Amino acid sequence: MESFRNPAELHAWCAAEKRLGRAIGLVPTMGCLHEGHLSLIRLAKERCDRVVVSVFVNPTQFAPNEDYDAYPRREQADLDLCERTGADAVFLPAPAAMYAQDASCRVEETLLAKTLEGAQRPTHFAGVCTVVAKLFNIVQPDLAVFGQKDFQQVAVIRRMVRDLDFPVEILRAPIVRDADGLALSSRNAYLTPQNRASARCLSRALRQAQDAVAQGQRDAAAIEAAARETLQAAGWAPDYAAVVDAETLMPLQTLLPGASALLLAARKDGLRLIDNTLL
């Protein structure tokens, strides 16, 4: 497995692979890899000849009050996991290699990025779009794989790819969950054992919504109210419980079967978790 810290060197390696006719898959991550990330690498491997994993805690997607400094970093463990999972190259740039000190350009999606997570984190998605656009330019992947866990992120990136004509296919990979239902996330490391146990309320609320829909429920407000109740009963304060159009993220009054999603965000003791399901 190759590893690169310099964008130009990674770009040259990818260009040489492409000249040999090899399809490249990109798995962008912020490191602290877990089974969820490894599932993305495996999916990219199934579809592509070469898989590049980026491990970069991107400063521009964190607001000043957020956890950029505290965000868990485990470079050697990440390299080992990438190698064992079959990645062909890992990209571990320093922030200075990605952003010139006087960088003055960014990529901003101006519609989907404003709601839900964007309402709480107004600068977040411009940071995500900017770094993902840069990674696409450096790697020029045929396929990029993102986890469904960050549902809005995938929708925003798909919109960026469509509107800016990036020649890359975006694959949304299923959420990987612990045995008790909690969606895997690097930030789960912040949970105390007690909060870890009560955090199951998110996946429980999603399952209840799936069951209700299977029994014919189509009223978005009723699905949202039931989800909020489940979160609150477990001591988690909902930021949002929203039934949305799965592509545009616009709020729905009536479920569009097969094209809707329920997105949740909830807080407890200074921690914030998100989860979602297609409905």
Residues in contact with 148: Cβ distance below 8 Å, sequence separation at least 6, in sequence order? 154, 172, 173, 174, 175, 276
175 binds ligand PAF (CB under 6 A): no
d(CA 147, CA 174): 6
Site for ligand PAF in 32-71 (CB under 6 A): 58, 61
> Kind of pairing, strands 169-173 and 237-245?
unpaired
Q: What tokens appear for 47 in the block? A: 């579809």
CB nearer to ligand PAF: pick between 93 and 238: 93
> Kind of pairing, strands 24-29 and 143-147?
parallel
Catalytic residues: 37
Would you say 139 and 24 are in contact if contact means Cβ atoms under 8 Å apart? yes
Q: How far is the CB of 58 from ligand PAF (least distance, A)?
A: 4
Can you tell me which of 131, 176, 212, 274 binds ligand PAF, judged by CB under 6 A?
131
Q: How far is the CB of 218 from ligand PAF (least distance, A)?
A: 32
Interface region with ligand PAF, contact rule CB under 6 A, candidates 17-25, 128-136, 230-238, 260-268: 128-136
CB nearer to ligand PAF: pick between 56 and 240: 56
Q: How far is the CB of 57 from ligand PAF (least distance, A)?
A: 8
Would you say 249 and 155 are in contact if contact means Cβ atoms under 8 Å apart? yes
CB nearer to ligand PAF: pick between 132 and 161: 132
**260 vs 178, 218, 228, CA distance in Å?**
24, 10, 18
In the DSSP assignment, the letter for residue 177 is: B
Site for ligand PAF in 132-151 (CB under 6 A): 132, 150
Q: How far is the CB of 62 from ligand PAF (least distance, A)?
A: 10
**Binding map of ligand PAF across residues 4-33, x = CB under 6 A, - = no contact:** ------------------------xxx---
Q: How far is the CB of 93 from ligand PAF (least distance, A)?
A: 12
Would you say 22 and 49 are in contact if contact means Cβ atoms under 8 Å apart? yes
Q: What tokens appear for 191 in the block? A: 């949970």
Site for ligand PAF in 93-122 (CB under 6 A): none
CB nearer to ligand PAF: pick between 145 and 246: 145
d(CA 147, CA 34): 12
Would you say 144 and 26 are in contact if contact means Cβ atoms under 8 Å apart? yes
Can you tell me which of 89, 92, 128, 212 binds ligand PAF, judged by CB under 6 A?
128
d(CA 64, CA 181): 32
- Which residues are near ligand PAF by CB under 6 A? 28-30, 58, 61, 128, 131-132, 150, 153
